[in-house]
Amino acid sequence: MNTGKHSRNFWIGNAVLALAMLMLLFMGPLSDAMGIWAAALWMALAAGGVGLIMSDKSGEPPAPD
């Protein structure tokens, strides 16, 4: 049975996604300061975070009971 342990990539991915969420909260001032690059940075953070989380996937899904 899976013990729930995750690799470092999983936790880094969650931290990056949390940063992307915080960035969405302040998107107004960020877009005033950075222009369209604020949206591009947000998309890159979201894609990187999801990529890190998905790289943590293990081989087989658990067997049904």
Q: What's the average model confidence in pLDDT over 6-22?
A: 93
The pLDDT of residue 44:
97
Burial code (b: 16+ CB inside 10 Å, e: under 16) for 25-61 equals eeeeebeeeeeeebeeebeebbebbeebbeeeeeeee
Greater model confidence, 62 or 45: 45
Structure confidence by residue, pLDDT tens digits, 22-56: 999 999 999 999 999 999 999 999 999 999 999 87
Hey, what are 4's tokens? 């729930």
CB 29 within 8 A of CB 22: no
Query: How much is the pLDDT for 38?
Result: 96
Residues 40, 42, 43: CA angle, nearest 5 degrees: 65
pLDDT at 5: 74
**Tens-place pLDDT, residues 2-11:** 556 778 889 9
